[in-house]
């Protein structure tokens, strides 16, 4: 166990009240400490910076410079950042303790001399050793310096609050858009980029001139040549410049890594580095919220097996005014003898059939439009806006033939095929969706009864 030798340590006492200062000074000297004391907080600051003491003990409330302000200054300075500060309050007020501890000080009631001495002793024993570095302020006004430090902290808290408020964005794209709008008002840069930890997405904000080079540089910096890109190109970024260099910072919440923030800018400008570090530090929670909301939405709306919309999402989609106010061509397809597939190939085999059909409908949706949905079990819907002239027969046939051509691989490696029965109907403008679905369902049953692997349309 380490023992404190008070004679090896200097305690700087700051108290404008001569009586109380003398009492504390006397008690500290009696303990064996080397003591320096002053009634002026400004003098105390210059003194502490020029010869960092073992501890500073100050009144929390003092005229002109408060103990809290003095502490903020000492903690911001390289010479005194390691020096423990003990602030003495006049009574038990929770707010005083909060202010003191928030500034990095210990808080003790001034009257409790035993507690004051114990706190000083513990603080000195726990403090990291200094390296002798000092700062002499010359004629520089300590008050100006404190004002500058408090301003810096105020700006930092304002920026931090703005970054945290991005938690309302609820999606990666919106988050990045708002983030770039915020960041470009903090410091000039050629580009800024944010990637997700999974590496599937990257947002880049750059100036229109040379934005392709900026995107390439951002992709290279983040090591993501193929991630899906969200490009925000506008003149709020500045054109890339000769001396721009790249800096990356990981964004995390606790030990969970969420992504990486990268910037291409003049890194000699301390404002750039400060803004980037602060934003990266505060971005964790908003980014986590955005990604969780996206993920939750995806889980709630998409069928996890086939990646097409589930019934709830499809009903929501079709109820939007732009869909409800026009006619729809709706196909319902049901896999023929699906129970036999499950029985002979197991559920993994059945799942692979469902996935193949989900993929096929997804491709169809991308190539010619339309919305696929897993309605339930082995039933799928495919809705195309507008009234097909042939009542949707051609669309139903396309789907039926493509399913029949699917080459499926059984667990034992052999190839097999499946077929679907398709019912098609036209949903009229304003007609309740469930009526339309029921009609398509009835047609699909007619197709089943007529021998399966065929299309029944109006």
Partner 1 sequence: MTCPTILIIDDSQAIRLAVREVLGQAGFTICEAADGEEGRRVIEERDDISLVLCDVNMPRMDGLSMLEMVKADPRNAELPILMLTTEGEPGMVRRARDAGARGWIVKPFQPELLLTAVRRLAVSAEARAAK
Binders of partner 1 among residues 325 to 384 (CB under 8 A) are none
Kindly provide the b/e burial profile for residues 180-205, where b requires at least 16 CB atoms within 10 angstroms of the residue's own CB: bebbbebbebbbbbbbbeeeebbbbb
Size of the site for partner 1 (CB under 8 A): 19
- Active-site entry in 25, 77, 170, 378: 378
CA distance 50 to 80: 9
228 binds partner 1 (CB under 8 A): no
Kindly provide the b/e burial profile for residues 103-122, where b requires at least 16 CB atoms within 10 angstroms of the residue's own CB: bebbbbbbeeeeebbebbbe
138 binds partner 1 (CB under 8 A): yes
Candidates 21, 59, 145, 400; binder of partner 1 (CB under 8 A) is 145
CA distance 286 to 165: 7
Choose between 30 and 50: whose C-beta lies nearer to partner 1: 50
133 binds partner 1 (CB under 8 A): yes
Least separation in angstroms between residue 148's CB and partner 1 is: 8
267 binds partner 1 (CB under 8 A): no
Strands (E), 5-94: 10-14, 34-38, 55-59, 85-89
Q: Provide the phi-psi class of 386: left if phi over 0, else alpha when psi is between -120 and 50, else beta.
A: left
150 binds partner 1 (CB under 8 A): no
269 binds partner 1 (CB under 8 A): no
Active site residue 378: yes
In this structure, the number of other CB atoms found within 10 A of the CB of residue 245 comes to 12
129 binds partner 1 (CB under 8 A): no
> What Å distances lie between residue 202 and 68, 219, 229, 236, 259, CA to CA?
43, 8, 5, 19, 9
173 binds partner 1 (CB under 8 A): no
Q: Using alpha carbons only, what angle is made at residue 357 by residues 314 and 454, rounded to the nearest 5 degrees?
A: 95
Choose between 151 and 449: whose C-beta lies nearer to partner 1: 151
Candidates 125, 140, 147, 220; binder of partner 1 (CB under 8 A) is 140
137 binds partner 1 (CB under 8 A): yes
CA distance 21 to 17: 6
Choose between 274 and 408: whose C-beta lies nearer to partner 1: 274
> What Å distances lie between residue 13 and 26, 35, 72, 235, 317, CA to CA?
11, 7, 17, 54, 70
443 binds partner 1 (CB under 8 A): no
Stretch that binds partner 1, among 17-25, 73-81, 92-100, 331-339 (CB under 8 A): 73-81
In 3-state terms, what secondary structure has residue 233?
Answer: strand
Candidates 36, 76, 233, 410; binder of partner 1 (CB under 8 A) is 76
136 binds partner 1 (CB under 8 A): yes
243 binds partner 1 (CB under 8 A): no
Candidates 79, 193, 194, 381; binder of partner 1 (CB under 8 A) is 79
**Contact by Cβ (8 Å): 332, 423:** yes
Q: Which residues form the interface with partner 1 (CB under 8 A)? A: 50, 76-79, 131-140, 145, 149, 270, 274
Give catalytic residue positions. Answer: 378
């Amino acid at each position: 166990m380490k023992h404190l030798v008070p004679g090896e340590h200097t305690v700087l006492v700051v108290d404008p009240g001569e009586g109380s200062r003398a009492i504390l000074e006397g008690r500290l000297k009696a303990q064996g400490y080397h003591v320096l004391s002053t009634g002026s907080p400004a003098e105390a600051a210059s003194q502490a910076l020029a010869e960092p003491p073992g501890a500073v003990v100050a009144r929390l409330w003092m005229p002109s410079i408060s103990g809290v302000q003095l502490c903020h200054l000492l903690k911001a300075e390289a010479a005194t950042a390691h020096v423990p500060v003990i602030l003495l309050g006049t009574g038990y007020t929770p707010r005083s303790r909060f202010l003191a501890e928030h500034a990095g000080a210990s808080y003790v009631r001034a009257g409790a001399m035993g507690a004051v001495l114990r706190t000083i002793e513990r603080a000195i024993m726990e403090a990291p050793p200094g390296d002798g570095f000092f700062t002499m302020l010359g004629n520089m006004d300590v008050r100006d310096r404190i004002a500058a430090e408090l301003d810096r902290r105020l700006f930092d808290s304002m920026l931090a609050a703005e970054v945290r408020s991005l938690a309302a964005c609820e999606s990666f794209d919106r988050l990045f858009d708002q983030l770039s709008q915020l960041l470009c008002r903090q410091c000039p840069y050629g580009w800024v980029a944010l990637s997700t930890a999974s590496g599937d997405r990257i947002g880049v904000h750059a100036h229109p001139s040379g934005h392709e080079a900026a995107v390439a540089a951002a992709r290279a910096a983040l090591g993501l040549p193929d991630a899906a890109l969200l490009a925000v190109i506008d003149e709020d970024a500045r054109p890339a410049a000769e001396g721009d260099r790249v800096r990356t910072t990981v964004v995390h919440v606790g030990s969970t890594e969420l992504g990486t923030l990268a910037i291409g800018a003049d890194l000699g400008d301390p404002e750039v580095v400060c803004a980037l570090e602060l934003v990266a530090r505060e971005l964790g929670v908003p980014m986590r919220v955005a990604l969780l909301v996206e993920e939750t939405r995806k889980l709630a709306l998409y069928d996890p097996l086939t990646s097409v919309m589930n019934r709830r999402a499809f009903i929501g989609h079709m109820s939007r005014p732009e869909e409800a106010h026009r006619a729809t061509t709706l196909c319902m397809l049901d896999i023929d003898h699906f129970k036999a597939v499950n029985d002979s190939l197991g559920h993994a085999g059945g799942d692979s059939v469902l996935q193949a059909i989900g993929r096929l409908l997804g491709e169809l949706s991308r190539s010619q439009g339309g919305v696929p949905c897993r309605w339930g079990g082995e039933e799928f819907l495919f809705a195309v806006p507008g009234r097909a002239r042939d009542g949707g027969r051609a669309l139903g046939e396309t789907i039926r033939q493509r399913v029949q051509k699917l080459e499926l691989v059984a667990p034992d490696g052999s190839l097999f095929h499946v077929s679907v029965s398709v019912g098609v109907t036209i949903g009229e403008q304003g007609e309740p969706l469930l009526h339309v679905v029921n009609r398509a369902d009835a047609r699909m049953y007619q197709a089943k009864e007529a021998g399966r692997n065929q299309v029944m349309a109006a």
